[in-house]
Amino acid sequence: MATLTNLRKATPVLVVDRIEPVVAFWKKLDLTVVAEARDQASEDGRLGFVILASQGVEIMYQTVASVRDDLLKSASVKEAVRSGPQQTTLFVEVNALAEIESKLQGETLIMPRRTTVYGTTELGYTDPAGNIVIFAEHVTADT
């Protein structure tokens, strides 16, 4: 199999109307804000972009207004960028689902625990922006 020597890392950027509500969701799971930028068009100082990270996990959020400002300056890009928020489904591997359930009490559970054919136990939530976040714990075989 060929090695992709030029690719080092991939991080999702979730496009939302507002960032502040999703920061609280991820802080419950011990992610911290490591970088942020204010939305230049916002009169009330709202965030336009944020990076949340912890222990090798990194997630970025950017507002629709900030995406427009960044990407729609070029006429060739206009067709590729949606004008509103984009729902994303994010798959996150975890060590212990019980800890996730405990920390996300009160959040919107959309998929109760299930065991998959590919060897994970999963559950799913929506973040406050409406993105779907599936948390998965690998099932270990008894030996």
Per-residue pLDDT tens digits for 98-119: 999 999 999 999 999 999 888 8
Task: Find out whether 137 and 95 touch, Cβ atoms under 8 Å.
Answer: yes
Tell me the average pLDDT across 77-95. Answer: 76
Is 21 part of a structural domain of the chain? yes
Is 7 part of a structural domain of the chain? no
| pTM (2 d.p.) | 0.77
| Per-residue confidence (pLDDT) for residue 143, from 0 to 100 | 37
Is 1 part of a structural domain of the chain? no
Is 8 part of a structural domain of the chain? no
What range does the domain containing 71 cover?
13-138
Is 100 part of a structural domain of the chain? yes
Number of domain units in the chain: 1
Is 96 part of a structural domain of the chain? yes
- Give the CATH number of the domain where residue 52 resides: 3.10.180.10
Reference 51, options 37, 33, 39, 66; nearest CA is 33
Tell me the average pLDDT across 57-80. Answer: 74
Per-residue pLDDT tens digits for 16-65: 999 999 999 999 999 999 999 988 766 788 999 999 999 989 999 999 88
